């Protein structure tokens, strides 16, 4: 016996065309950001052993690659640098003509890409921490001065946005103030607001040689147990003047992305980090999952959770696969 009305949601799924019509979420390629690594020590590109298919580039190589990305239709990149010399204060990070500063300048001259640059010390310090040390602790307030200096060198190089990732308290307001005093009111800040202390960064630290030489990052990055604290971190960054807020990592933190979307009106970025890439990539390379399907599903999930912008190492793949 049929009941009436006869509720059949299957009517909505009859054909690929109909399914496409009824999609509530899709991957918006305009909102993808591709991370890129430039390494001052290299003469040619080198594949990152823990991230198959992702490379560190030398200076000329990254400019060529950026042009190729532009040709594919990619609009935005997030730059990371590996310097020749590391020291206790990470002085390579604020060199006027350092590796990231030179790369920003060239990519901005030779492409129309939107260029974000990660702003932190861990790639530049010999101890691998994101701030200056005082004994065995990471000193919040002296680090802020350095972050301000880095921001100004990036801005002078022509960066569109700085992306402070060190999770020091007050970093956004200090950077905003220093940028404004130097006449860079138009340089935007994409703040790594709710950045969790995560095992998912391990391949990245291999990539840029930034594994801390002692301890871990738990005194400054967030505990993965806490959502309300994440909301406070984001709220503070907004009060300090962040233009774009971020949740990182993405896939294990979809609930946090959703909570942030419901609570705040700022543009929200989600960073699908290095191990999220490698877990999927390695499973696909081993024949366990289909790469294209898994990339499509996982990236869609991040948008569905409420991210406006997705930073993903699969960006190039998504453009090439026509997803
Ligand atoms: C630097 C920084 C990290 C990432 C982005 N910026 C590493 C860390 O905090 O240890 C992680 C990116 C990734 O894993 O893809 N502070
Ligand atoms: Zn760092």
Superfamily covering domain 27-321: Aldolase class I (3.20.20.70)
pLDDT at 1: 64
pLDDT at 6 over 90: no
Examine the residue annotation and report whether 195 is marked as an active-site residue of this protein. Answer: yes
User: Ligand 1 within 6 A of 122 CB?
Assistant: yes
C-alpha pair distances (Å), 153 with each of 58, 117, 150, 209, 250: 20, 11, 5, 23, 29
Determine the length of the chain. Answer: 323
- Closest-approaching ligand to the CA atom of 274: 1
pTM of the model: 0.97
- What's the 204 CA to ligand 1 centre distance in angstroms? 6
Q: Each residue of 25-72: pLDDT tens digit? A: 999 999 999 999 999 999 999 999 999 999 999 999 999 999 999 999
Which residue, among 305, 258, 266, 87, has the nearest Cα to 172 in the 3D structure?
266
Strands 55-57 and 32-39 come out as parallel
Rounded distance, CA 154 to CA 101, Å?
6
Residue 128's CB is within 10 A of a number of other CB atoms, namely 21
Q: Which two tokens stand for residue 217?
A: 């990052």
Q: What is the mean predicted confidence (pLDDT) over 133-144?
A: 96
To the nearest 10°, report the CA torsion of 133, 138, 142, 144. Answer: 130
User: Ligand 1 within 6 A of 33 CB?
Assistant: no
CB under 8 Å to 276, separation ≥6 — which residues? Answer: 200, 249, 250, 251, 298
User: Ligand 1 within 6 A of 78 CB?
Assistant: no
- What's the 130 CA to ligand 2 centre distance in angstroms? 4
């Amino acid at each position: 016996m049929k009941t009436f009305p006869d509720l059949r949601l299957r009517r909505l799924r009859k054909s690929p065309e109909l399914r496409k019509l009824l999609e509530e979420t899709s991957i918006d390629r305009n909102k993808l950001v591709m991370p890129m690594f430039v390494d001052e020590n290299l003469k040619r590109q080198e594949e990152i052993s823990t991230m198959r298919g992702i490379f560190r580039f030398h200076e000329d190589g990254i400019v060529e690659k950026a042009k190729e990305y532009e040709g594919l239709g990619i609009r935005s990149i997030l730059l990371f640098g590996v310097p020749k010399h590391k020291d206790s204060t990470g002085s390579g990070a604020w060199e006027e003509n350092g590796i990231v500063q030179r790369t920003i300048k060239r990519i901005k001259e030779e492409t129309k890409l939107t260029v974000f640059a990660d702003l932190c010390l861990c790639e530049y310090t010999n101890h691998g921490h994101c701030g200056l040390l005082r004994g065995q602790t990471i000193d919040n307030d002296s680090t802020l001065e350095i972050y301000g200096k880095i921001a100004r060198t990036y801005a002078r190089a022509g960066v569109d946005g700085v992306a402070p990732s060190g999770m020091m308290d007050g970093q956004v307001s200090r950077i905003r103030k220093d940028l404004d005093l130097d006449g860079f009111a138009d340089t935007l800040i994409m703040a790594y607001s709710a950045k969790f202390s995560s095992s998912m960064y391990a391949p990245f630290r291999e990539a840029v040689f930034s594994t801390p030489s002692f301890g871990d990052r738990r005194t400054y990055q967030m505990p993965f147990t806490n959502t309300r604290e994440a909301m406070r971190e984001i709220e503070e960054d907004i009060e300090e003047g962040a233009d774009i807020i971020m949740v990182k990592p993405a896939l294990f933190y979809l609930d946090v992305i959703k909570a942030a979307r419901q609570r705040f009106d700022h543009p929200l970025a989600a960073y699908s980090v290095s191990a999220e890439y490698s877990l999927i990539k390695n499973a696909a390379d081993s024949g366990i999952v289909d790469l294209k399907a898994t990339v499509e599903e996982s990236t869609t999930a991040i948008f569905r959770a409420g991210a406006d912008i997705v930073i993903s190492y699969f960006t190039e793949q998504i453009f090439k696969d026509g997803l």
